[in-house]
Structure 1
Amino acid sequence: MTAPPRPGGGTAPPAGLAARLRSVPWRQDLPASLVVFLVAVPLCVGVAVASGVPAELGLVTGIVGGLVVGLLPGSSLQVSGPAAGLTVLVLEAVREHGLDSLGALVLATGVLQLGMGLLRIGRWFRAMSAAVVHGMLAGIGLILLFGQLYATAGRPAPGTGLGKIAGLPGLLADVLTGRSAPSPVLLGAGTLLVLLLWPYLPARVRLLPAPLAAVGLASAVTAIAALPVDRIRVEGLVEVVRIPDASSFAAVAGPGGAGTVLAFALIASAETLFSAAAVDRMHHGPRTDYDRELTAQGIGNTLCGLLGALPMTAVIVRSAANVQAGARSKASRTLHGVWLLLFAALLPAVLGLIPVAALAAVLVHAGAKLVPVRRIGALWRDHRGEAVVLAATAGAIIATNLFEGVLAGIGLAVLKSAWQTSHLHIGVEDPADPDGPLRVCLTGQATFLRLPRLLDALERLPADRSVELDWSGLRHLDHACTVALVTWAAQHRARSTEPLEVDPPLPTAV
């Protein structure tokens, strides 16, 4: 049997063959990998520079995220690499422990994540309060935004979040009065303007990712106009690799290093797994296995630590670009790692053309996008308690540090949930007969959080009336409230001549 003739001559391919050709993953994955690569290059470099490490280390982490984590099971379409969410913590770690100790810290982080994945702890990250996670990202975004504003003006940023905010009026005054060099300010402002206007340009123009276009234009203007601005310093891919030695692990042994490792592991894992949940909602392919994904991230960070590179997470910006570009399988994210490796190996001098102010503007834009303004508004309208947790978490991160701020947010979320779930209704029924007993009905959850309200209601009962206390409607009665009820009943019987009936009977000893 021959294939039917084609209108223009020849024969058409069999229908089955055409269907198979259309279903070949690389037809979608190859162009998607190029899109992700173009998005990843400026972000990898920018995160590295903002973290106080050589630019090439960001590319090393991106390469490991593509070539290693990209092949491992877990999530099929999300892309891993250096993330803006860890920039603040990495910068603090490098300042405190030194660049030579970064590899040991990241290596320990990877081992901890690997153990968490093998113990199947990944699924438990889904139980973390969404308000705490968004508050964490908002706090990180604000610190990143404020800190990179100084870089766009060519000024060093203060070391603390509050210091960055306090110094903004002085920074603005320096810019307006000309005490700051105008070239980096104008270059950063122009880069930010390109990023803001890019979504409104024609679709054919927007095929080029906005960060790459903005950085490329800034680099071209800098080269053509010979602007006197700082540029990225290039050391070479091999030269920046720092394999940790025995002395490097001294930073991990102390309490400060152990706290940094724990913060790296918890925040990177939370960001990765929440990113996975977001990416799963964007496509109809296989769902993420959270424990396997956490294990894959542990393997990736272990390797990044051995190379002295930045810690990695799954990055929602690159992952979203991967899905939107039509990726179908892991091939796209793996190929993006190949392109990063070829770029770093063959074209490292290109990095030396990039002005620091342009990368700072890219990170200002990225930091602003981490602040969930719309979500805060929606939460304030519908769930004000969640909005308070989000804002308090972000504020605590700015005022203290990332780890302590997240712990404060988790504590506040737990307290809020405990308060909301310990709902206690106290009903007092006064019969029409003035000589009849007062009936007190308790329903809901009687916990120590509601103890003041419970005691106030009981102590307001008159001593010259008989009382019927019905607590059969309580779903939970904790020890503190049990003691309070037993004590109140004993005192009421001692000072009143009227009877007190309790149903069901209270325990005689607590």
Structure 2
Amino acid sequence: MPARARALPWREDLPASLVVFLVALPLCVGVAVASGVPAELGLVTGIVGGVVVGLLPGSSLQVSGPAAGLTVLVLEAVREHGLHALGALVLATGVLQLAMGLLRLGRWFRAMSAAVVHGMLAGIGLILIFGQLYAMAGRPAPGTGLGKIAGLPALLADAATGRAAASPVLLGVATLLVLLLWRYLPARVRVVPAPLVAVGLASAVTAITALPVARIRVEGLFEVVRLPDAASFAALAGIGGAGTVLAFTLIASAETLFSAAAVDRMHHGPRTDYDRELTSQGVGNAICGLLGALPMTAVIVRSAANVQAGARTKASRTLHGVWLLLFAALLPAVIGLIPVAALAAVLVHAGAKLVPVRRLGALWREHRGEAVVLTATAGAIIATNLFEGVLAGVGLAVVKSAWQTSHLHIGVEEPGGPAGGPLRVRLTGQATFLRLPRLLDALERLPADRAVELDWSGLRHLDHACTVALVSWAAQHRARSTGTLEVEPPLPTAV
């Protein structure tokens, strides 16, 4: 009976692993191409994410591999430092994640503002969409986010009037339509993942009709794997390289742990150990770095497919890595049949999923400040770059939080006595420098010919700036006013 109980999960894990493999295959290749690296490097990262990270502790059902959320940053890193330096950057990322996991810092990522994370993903998704629209039209994309946006009207006009090559445009649009309409088909048809069907159909049509479109360049798995050499690590010495490693680490770790929280809500099995999961991701990225591959993170699309396919244990995600390895080793030429325009359409569809349109509407109605942070983060990423945009979002989130928590109530009471009776001023809440202008305005409006009783005992916090302002105002009021001033509790004499 125990042996039967142990064997039962394989009945669910084996078919689930095939589903995840079919979902991961086109995405691994597409993310690599969009990142400006050989397609096989995306498969290498997917293989490591399955065969290595799939066996390690942390989360039991979420799946790791190359992610669309890191595409923009990898593309910038390859342009700035070269493909030869990518391995060193990813290796350093893995070591940093490993150290953070061992220091038990994984749980702190749960404190990151959700608006910043969703704004980060929205910015990445929009840049991904804008860039891949050019690939769907068979044209190179501008290097900056603002450049991509500025060139879109001319690109769309060329596609509509026929000045752009018709074959890649039509192929990309058809692929996108398959992706959008697939979910409306019967459930028995939707057993096969939409990305695989869309890319497979596009590849078949291209091969049969000999369409004049660009296809994925195939170099071979062993040809693209390169161990980092001494020259590769030179990129780590500069500020740009160090910033790239930090951005890789923060974004990959945040996306992994937010994905873990989402996956935990989808099943009733063991919960994720965040510190162990961060350590496992560090091991995986260190190995990817040694192989010169893309950085990895846990990916919510593949993880959700794993859970929805009925996976029970780690075996499903590990086996999906085995299937990727067998495919890359035995059928690499198949990758060369895939049209670039079809993969671009898959990534446009994936990028659209990163833009939380529905969440933004709900936030605007219920938490308008969070919606502003989300939108500002996405806009900053498009206008600058990923790292600076995220820093801007975090800074704005901190300012918003400080403003909201620094609530100060100023009550001025005139208890039913004669007009010449004392005014009672009560301060409650938190008096910080953010509320200093309002506090001083209220105090300076008090008439100079009235007695004043200032009660600040209801303040939960009084920072140094407000303390100095109260002491200074009290001294000036006593010097200029004909009425008395009583302060309870007494203000400090020296500040």
**What is the TM-score normalised by the length of structure 2?**
0.99
Partner Cα separation in structure 1 for residue 457 and residue 161 of structure 2:
73
1:362 aligns with 2:346: yes
5 Å matches for 1:3-402? Answer: 20=4, 24-402=8-386
Match of 1:455 in 2: 440
The alignment partner of 2:104 has SS state of coil
The one-letter amino acid of 2:470's match is L
5 Å matches for 1:460-475? Answer: 460-475=445-460
The alignment partner of 1:441 has SS state of strand
Partner Cα separation in structure 2 for residue 229 and residue 468 of structure 1:
82
The alignment partner of 1:38 has SS state of helix
Partner Cα separation in structure 1 for residue 160 and residue 378 of structure 2:
30
**More displaced stretch, 494-503 vs 361-370:** 494-503
Per-residue CA deviations over 1:27-55 (Å, capped at 9, x if unaligned) read: 11000000000000000000000000000
The one-letter amino acid of 1:171's match is L
Match of 1:444 in 2: 429
Match of 1:504 in 2: 489
1:404 aligns with 2:413: no
Partner Cα separation in structure 1 for residue 114 and residue 459 of structure 2:
30
Q: How many residues align?
A: 494
**Per-residue deviation, 1:162:** 0.4
Partner Cα separation in structure 2 for residue 260 and residue 242 of structure 1:
20
The alignment partner of 2:8 has SS state of coil
Partner Cα separation in structure 2 for residue 52 and residue 496 of structure 1:
72
The one-letter amino acid of 1:369's match is K
**Per-residue deviation, 1:177:** 2.0
Gaps of 5+ in 1: 1-15
**Per-residue deviation, 1:20:** 3.5
1:487 aligns with 2:455: no
Per-residue CA deviations over 1:46-66 (Å, capped at 9, x if unaligned) read: 000000000000000000000
Query: Identity, % of aligned pairs?
Result: 89
The one-letter amino acid of 2:347's match is L
Partner Cα separation in structure 1 for residue 432 and residue 413 of structure 2:
23
**Per-residue deviation, 1:496:** 1.3
The one-letter amino acid of 1:150's match is Y
The one-letter amino acid of 1:375's match is R
**Per-residue deviation, 1:362:** 0.1
Partner Cα separation in structure 1 for residue 17 and residue 316 of structure 2:
4
Structure 2 residue corresponding to 1:476, chosen from 458, 461, 468: 461
Match of 1:13 in 2: none
Per-residue CA deviations over 1:103-146 (Å, capped at 9, x if unaligned) read: 01100111111111111111000000000000000000000000
Per-residue CA deviations over 1:354-379 (Å, capped at 9, x if unaligned) read: 00000000000000010000000000
**Per-residue deviation, 1:92:** 0.5
The one-letter amino acid of 1:215's match is V
**Per-residue deviation, 1:161:** 0.4
The alignment partner of 2:310 has SS state of coil
**What is the TM-score normalised by the length of structure 1?**
0.96
**Per-residue deviation, 1:21:** 5.0
Partner Cα separation in structure 1 for residue 185 and residue 480 of structure 2:
81
User: For the structure 1 residues 498 and 270, does the alpha-carbon distance in structure 2 shift closer, same or farther, using more than 3 Å as the test?
Assistant: same
**Per-residue deviation, 1:23:** 6.4
**Per-residue deviation, 1:304:** 0.2
Partner Cα separation in structure 2 for residue 254 and residue 440 of structure 1:
56
**Per-residue deviation, 1:431:** 2.9
What do you get for the CA RMSD once the two structures are aligned?
1.0
